[in-house]
A and B are shown apart, each in its own frame.
Chain A
Amino acid sequence: MTSSFLSFEDKGYKDFISRLKQENEKLNAFNFIDENDKSGKIISVKDNICVKGMPATASSKILQGYIPGFNATVIERLEKAGFSVIGKTNMDEFGFGSFGLNSEHYARNPFNEEYITGGSSSGSAVATALIKGHVSIAESTGGSISAPASFCGVVGLTPTYGVISRYGLIDYASSLDKIGFMGKSVDNIREVMEKTIGGDPKDTTSLSVTISNKKPNKLYVIDNLMTGVNEVIKDRFEDLLAKLSAKGYKIEHTKIDYLEYSVPAYYIISMSEASTNLAKYQGFKYGFKVKDFSLNYNEFFMSARKQFGKEAKRRVILGTFIRSKSITQRYYEKALAIRHALIARMDKILKEGFIIMPSMPIFTPKISEVKDISPVEAYSMDMLTVPPNLCGFPHMSFPYFYEKGMPIGAQIITNHFNDYSLLDFLSEWESDFKYKFKEEIS
């Protein structure tokens, strides 16, 4: 499917923005919409990526008022290539969430407002569904692109860890964060990806490597990952496999050891890293300011950190605990060993073919159904998105079915640095798949 980006050369932008703002009042896709005229192809950007002169809050009260004076590398490259940023999209605070609900004004699903969007790149998924020919620059740590892409019926591509610079990203977990894309046309996603990939001296973990497109004709289903998946989702997934088999893919079934430990391992690593990354919010440099300079350092720091939401507090407390000297071997080092074990096992399979699975183990839930579930129940919903994220493998969620009007997504994974094969797969998939959206804004 070919789809071009929306662009406004001389006129029309104000009307477009007015329509967008009207929709945004219902769906909360954006934390900030730029009303200044734009020329060039328009994109939106998750609110944890810095765009010069636009607020960057990561949906946290502690960053209210922070306006970066610089562009993230990904934005710098896209602006040079003729793209314009129209606004900053809603998200779970600092990326802490799988449902999109850890935001003061959480986003709502564009197919039905009673349903969740998925998170943490909730607003990026909604903006992509809403706007004609749109691509949103999102970010994933443990599934923050695949989950909302699946629940909102768009494509979400998470590249190999390191191939896109993280400079200018408000970090959550530095060994896991990856900037990626949401879109609804392979051509648009490819164009944005090609402009942003490549090493960056400002990010020492970024890599200058050749990205390949070796598209295998084998699809591996990981049987021990499918045990917690909803039975009807399993049936729909079987239908998808039959379709792909008819297209010439060979379906193989296999198992991977240690997968059942991937979710706790992911949360142990991500919380440890988050607790150090969030230490920079001390109430005098970024966003929220504590004005009482008579407080001593600890009182000042604690006073600022009251601005964190509940999930952020929970993760900082747990991350601090896990990093304590007497505990680190029990949790953190074991989690790193599990990551190593899983990379080796998945790599072996990915040398032979793609891994394919549903993106999420459940149908899109209503907001009221998941608003008050326990953290452990919520974390467990990441069982399918965590393995590729923990191990830095490029992966892509794509819509493949609509059940009672709501989209269902599947996820394919490929080997490190073979990212373009995902787009070749998508190109083939789009040749006879029709995306469904409510009326798009143009």
Chain B
Amino acid sequence: MEKYEFERLLNSARIELDEVESASIEKDIKDILVFFDKLKNISLDDEELAFHPVEIPEKLREDNTENKNKIEDVFYNAENYRFYFLGPKI
């Protein structure tokens, strides 16, 4: 991974690192990707993809609207003002 790719990746991941941490994590990530590359040369084209370890039956619910949430529960722990979360500008 080139330096510019690593910088772009940090931006996508919304992670800001100082200089020392950046150098150390960049090196770790290169080593870990080499470790992951063990998978590169095996062929598993006939295998299905196991998204879960066991079969999870599809669960459906009635298409009814319901609102069980209480305002005080929704805002518990959150910064809020009247009926709104307080958050950053979009």
A residues with CB within 8 A of B: 65-70, 160-162, 175-176, 204-205, 207, 258, 260-261, 264-265, 267-268, 275, 282-287, 289-290, 293-303, 305-306, 308, 310, 313-314, 316-322, 324, 330-331, 333-341, 343, 374-376, 379, 390-393, 416
CB-nearest residue of chain A to B38: A264
CB-nearest residue of chain A to B56: A205
* Proximity string of chain B (23-54) to chain A, C-beta cutoff 8 Å, 1 when within and 0 when not: 01100110111111011101010011111111
Beta-carbon contact of B15 and A305 below 8 Å: yes
Kindly provide the distance from the CB of A413 to the nearest chain B CB, expressed in whole angstroms: 13
Beta-carbon contact of B28 and A416 below 8 Å: no
B71 at the interface (CB under 8 A from A): no
Kindly provide the distance from the CB of B3 to the nearest chain A CB, expressed in whole angstroms: 14
What are the 7 closest A-B residue pairs judged by CB atoms, nearest first? A392-B53, A300-B88, A336-B49, A340-B50, A337-B44, A337-B47, A320-B13
Alpha-carbon distance A286/B87, docked complex (angstroms): 12
Count of inter-chain pairs, beta carbons less than 8 A: 167
Contacts of A374 in B (CB 8 A): 28, 31
Contacts of A275 in B (CB 8 A): 13
Alpha-carbon distance A237/B46, docked complex (angstroms): 37
B residues with CB within 8 A of A: 9-10, 12-17, 21, 24-25, 28-29, 31-36, 38-40, 42, 44, 47-54, 56-57, 59, 73, 76-79, 85-90
Beta-carbon contact of A321 and B87 below 8 Å: no
Alpha-carbon distance A298/B52, docked complex (angstroms): 32
Alpha-carbon distance A204/B59, docked complex (angstroms): 7
Beta-carbon contact of B77 and A337 below 8 Å: no
Alpha-carbon distance A335/B14, docked complex (angstroms): 25
Beta-carbon contact of A175 and B21 below 8 Å: no
Contacts of A267 in B (CB 8 A): 32, 35-36
CB-nearest residue of chain A to B21: A310
Beta-carbon contact of A284 and B87 below 8 Å: yes
Alpha-carbon distance A285/B76, docked complex (angstroms): 9
Q: Is the interface of B mostly helix, strand, loop or mixed?
A: loop
Contacts of A69 in B (CB 8 A): 73, 76-77
Alpha-carbon distance A207/B25, docked complex (angstroms): 39
Contacts of B86 in A (CB 8 A): 284, 293
A-B contact pairs, 20 of them (CB 8 A): A69-B76, A70-B73, A175-B53, A205-B56, A275-B13, A286-B77, A293-B87, A298-B14, A301-B14, A314-B29, A319-B13, A320-B9, A322-B36, A334-B39, A335-B39, A337-B44, A337-B49, A338-B44, A376-B32, A376-B35
Contact of B88 among A296, A321, A390 (CB under 8 A): A296
CB-nearest residue of chain B to A313: B15
Contact of A375 among B32, B53, B59, B90 (CB under 8 A): B32
Contacts of B47 in A (CB 8 A): 337-338, 340-341
Max chain A Cβ within 10 angstroms of own Cβ: one of B40, B53, B59, B78? B53
Beta-carbon contact of A320 and B12 below 8 Å: yes
Alpha-carbon distance A333/B12, docked complex (angstroms): 21
CB-nearest residue of chain B to A292: B88
Kindly provide the distance from the CB of B4 to the nearest chain A CB, expressed in whole angstroms: 14
Beta-carbon contact of B36 and A268 below 8 Å: yes
Given A313-B15, A337-B48, also A207-B39 (CB < 8 A)? no
Alpha-carbon distance A264/B38, docked complex (angstroms): 8
Beta-carbon contact of A264 and B35 below 8 Å: yes
Beta-carbon contact of A392 and B78 below 8 Å: no
Alpha-carbon distance A313/B10, docked complex (angstroms): 10
Beta-carbon contact of B29 and A317 below 8 Å: yes
Max chain A Cβ within 10 angstroms of own Cβ: one of B32, B79, B88? B88
Kindly provide the distance from the CB of A209 to the nearest chain B CB, expressed in whole angstroms: 9
Alpha-carbon distance A280/B35, docked complex (angstroms): 29
Alpha-carbon distance A333/B59, docked complex (angstroms): 25
Kindly provide the distance from the CB of B16 to the nearest chain A CB, expressed in whole angstroms: 5
Given A302-B16, A337-B47, also A376-B21 (CB < 8 A)? no
Beta-carbon contact of A162 and B49 below 8 Å: no
